[in-house]
Amino acid sequence: MSNETVRDLESLYRTLLLEVGEDPEREGLLKTPHRASEAMKYVTRGYDESLEDVVNDAIFHETSDDMIVVRDIEFFSLCEHHLFPFFGTVSIGYIPDGRIIGLSKLARITDMYARRLQVQERLTVQIADAVQQTLQPKGVGVVIRAQHLCMMARGVEKQGVEMLSSHVLGVFRSDRATRAEFIELVNGRK
C-alpha cells in the first residue's frame, strides 16, 4: 500500500468519524484516522504477497507418504460483507507424493489469504488449492473453525456460534477412509 493510499485512507476514516457524529479534532480521535489506516494496511497485507514469495523454496524431497496434519493454526480476517473481523483456527492435512513443505509455510499460506477481505468458504478453498499447487500431493484437506463478529455484534447478535468449513482434494475426496482419518485427527482434541 503506497503512502498516497494511506493518506487517502486517513481522509476516509476522518470522514467516517464525522459521519457517525464524532469530532475528529477531539484529543482521543486526533490520531485515529492514521492509526486506523495503518491497521487496515496491516490486516490486508495479503494482497501484497504471492504464494511463491510465501513458500520461498521451502519444499523438500521426502519419501514419506503418511498423512501430515497441522492443526489449530490461528488466523483472523475481515468479512468482505461488513468489514468486521472473523477469527479462528485452520487445520491442514496432506499426503505427500515425494515432497513436503516447511511447517511454518502452512501458517504463512493461511495468513496470506486470511489477510484479505474474505468469506470463510473462499478462504478454505484458497488454502487447499495453494497447498495442492505447491506440493502436488496425493491429497489435501482443510478445515476452518471460526467465529464471525458480523454475526455476534450485529444482525442476529448470537455469541459463541462457530462456523465450520472444509475443502478436500485428491484422495481426501475420493477415499472415505482417508477423509475419515483426517477429520478424526483434526477433531482429536484433548
pLDDT tens digits along 28-78: 999 999 999 999 999 999 999 999 999 999 999 999 999 999 999 999 999
Q: How confident is the model at residue 6 (pLDDT cuts 50, 70, 90)?
A: confident
Q: Are the beta carbons of 123 and 46 closer than 8 angstroms?
A: no
Please give the mean pLDDT across all residues of the chain. Answer: 95
Q: Is the pLDDT of residue 1 over 80?
A: no
Residue 175: inside a domain: yes
Q: Is the pLDDT of residue 188 over 90?
A: no
Residue 80 annotated among the catalytic residues of the structure: yes
Please check whether residues 11 and 63 belong to one and the same domain: no
Selecting among 10, 79, 126, 167, the annotated active-site residue is 79
Task: Look at residue 66 in the predicted model and tell me its pLDDT.
Answer: 96
Residue 150 annotated among the catalytic residues of the structure: yes
Please name which of 78, 138, 80, 130 lies closest in space to residue 105, comparing C-alpha atoms.
130
Backbone φ/ψ region at 102: left (φ over 0), alpha (ψ -120 to 50), beta: beta
Please check whether residues 178 and 106 belong to one and the same domain: yes
Selecting among 62, 80, 121, 184, the annotated active-site residue is 80
Q: How confident is the model at residue 136 (pLDDT cuts 50, 70, 90)?
A: very high
At 99-126, the pLDDT tens digits run 999 999 999 999 999 999 999 999 999 9
Residue 174: inside a domain: yes
Please check whether residues 73 and 142 belong to one and the same domain: yes
Residue 62 annotated among the catalytic residues of the structure: no
Residue 10: inside a domain: yes
Residue 60: inside a domain: yes
Domain count, the chain: 2
Please check whether residues 35 and 103 belong to one and the same domain: no
Residue 49: inside a domain: no
Residue 82 annotated among the catalytic residues of the structure: yes
For residue 85, what are the β-bridge partners? 78
Q: What is the pTM of this model?
A: 0.93
Task: Look at residue 157 in the predicted model and tell me its pLDDT.
Answer: 86
Residue 34 annotated among the catalytic residues of the structure: no
Residue 148 annotated among the catalytic residues of the structure: yes
Residue 19: inside a domain: yes
Selecting among 10, 118, 126, 148, the annotated active-site residue is 148
Residue 184 annotated among the catalytic residues of the structure: no
Residue 108: inside a domain: yes
What range does the domain containing 19 cover?
3-43
Backbone φ/ψ region at 86: left (φ over 0), alpha (ψ -120 to 50), beta: beta
Selecting among 34, 38, 49, 150, the annotated active-site residue is 150
Average pLDDT over residues 84-101: 97
Q: How confident is the model at residue 154 (pLDDT cuts 50, 70, 90)?
A: confident
Q: How confident is the model at residue 190 (pLDDT cuts 50, 70, 90)?
A: very low
Per the structure block, which three cell numbers stand in for 33?
A: 484516522
Selecting among 22, 38, 49, 82, the annotated active-site residue is 82
